[in-house]
Structure 1
């Protein structure tokens, strides 16, 4: 089985079209088609259904695709490791970071790393955990810094850094704070600004309402970015939202209060997530050490 045939297969599966796959790989369509046919002949199975709109993976092709993708990723990492050892390269770090933690943790660790390793290079993706985890799983990131997944993710290894519990918050002076017998069900009468439903924090909120037999929150503003960037809207309206305790302690948290209900809090741990069994270069390992150090120092002043 030829390695280039597997690469052709991955390219066609990703593009869904022979022409686009051939263009992306810089080969002719006949050469790519011949490679796919050769692979199917060796496996004695059809990997694609040829349709008017393009190439669609068969059920067997879907299963084969996931195995090949993981194997190809492992091979790429083995080559990278060998090159690092042979050349003593300073290397490249591909890091993902939640916007909330870009400055207090990532920024300091990044500055110290570049001081220690001036030749190091870094690619940074800023986003929420749904985007970061997807990129990590595809092999586009070496690590990400965000809220850790509370459900078992066998493809990942998680390194806890510190607790940053999630709270429902409102502006100071919100009518909710005048209630003498505030209950969780009272939050169903409020309007909210929340992340989209692909984000773990939003799913946790929706699940809490469902557990209590209540309708989902009335979301009037839905964001695909960090709520921390929209706190001015919360301060200027009666909208409720959710943020971590660390954000409340920062200047941006001024003018906001936690809704004093036990059910309006979600325990959460912030940490570093890597792919299980992935190759991590010495440079990446040093960066993780620095992140842990700054997380410890920064958390000492927190409640």
Structure 2
């Protein structure tokens, strides 16, 4: 039996539309050509596919099952072709990804290892930096995607793919004087000294916005860091500075000796994920990497 793939596609189109004319229009074929293709397929199969009537084309009982199986096989073939193309293009490509240092180990590394195993010929260019620098590089086209905290409202030129939640907390050392207050309020932070990242970093802007909402002046920044506070935890643990830290970092050994301020206003709900440019097609290698990130989050890897 020598079935033609295009005849299968023509059969599936007629089954979908239920009328020869509509299927022919959708396929860009003449009705006689489509009729001939169906007749050729029925001859090869040895059984009729449709019951023809004034109302259209109805599948025979045997053709119902044949359609389900061939549709599944056709979908599998399309996926196989796409995967082969992605593998070919991806194997020759370069993945350009920007990563926040907080999520390099948890999100980037597992997916990067899998990608390296699946695409051993592919190369990766990795930029580890804070979100302001990552966004600038993404918009310039220097990166395919970034992994970092997502903006609460993604800009129109970017598309967000949430992967996990990791709230940002205001933190101090254990036994900090602020913790002795019976009912801690934001107003109690007015005279506090802070260790914060630069003014363009989203975490600092969140603190400034929260204080402004409470009618308070901007934070008194005694130590401004170019990276996250996680690398300077000893400075926090041996001073009365207030800082910000992700919930996962606080729960890790890096957060030893530190605690979150016990008030709702000291926490910022935050999603972590990937950002890509809306106006640029994501290369196959980057598409595969993004899928691995999603799969890992779903599986809990």
Q: How high is the TM-score relative to the length of structure 1?
A: 0.68
Q: Does 1:217 align with 2:219?
A: yes
Aligned residue runs from structure 1 range 91-170, under 5 A: 91-170=93-172
Q: In the superposition, relative to structure 1, how do residues 129 and 87 fare at CA in structure 2: closer, same or farther (>3 Å)?
A: closer
Q: How does 1:1-303 map to 2 (within 5 A)?
A: 89-298=91-300
- 1:135 shift after superposition: 0.4
Query: Are 1:105 and 1:298, in contact at CA under 8 Å, matched by a contact in 2?
Result: no
Contact kept, 8 Å, 2:208 with 2:218, in 1: the verdict is yes
Task: Indicate the residue corresponding to 2:55 in structure 1.
Answer: none
Structure 2 SS opposite 1:189: coil
1:40-60 Cα deviation digits (max 9, x unpaired):
xxxxxxxxxxxxxxxxxxxxx
User: Could you say what secondary structure the match of 2:111 adopts?
Assistant: helix
RMSD: 1.9
Superposed displacement of residue 277, structure 1:
3.2
Q: Judging changes above 3 Å, is the alpha-carbon distance between structure 1 residues 281 and 189 closer, same or farther for their aligned structure 2 residues?
A: same
Tell me the matched-pair count.
217
Q: Which runs of 5+ in 2 are unaligned?
A: 1-84
Divergent runs of 4+, >4 A: 83-89
Higher CA-based Rg = 2
Return the alpha-carbon distance in structure 2 between the equivalents of residues 259 and 201 of structure 1: 16
Cα separation, 1, equivalents of 2:300 and 2:188:
35
**What TM-score results when the alignment is normalised by the length of structure 2?**
0.68
Q: Which runs of 5+ in 1 are unaligned?
A: 1-82
Decide whether aligned partners of structure 1 residues 254 and 88 sit closer, same or farther in structure 2, where only a CA change above 3 A counts.
Answer: closer
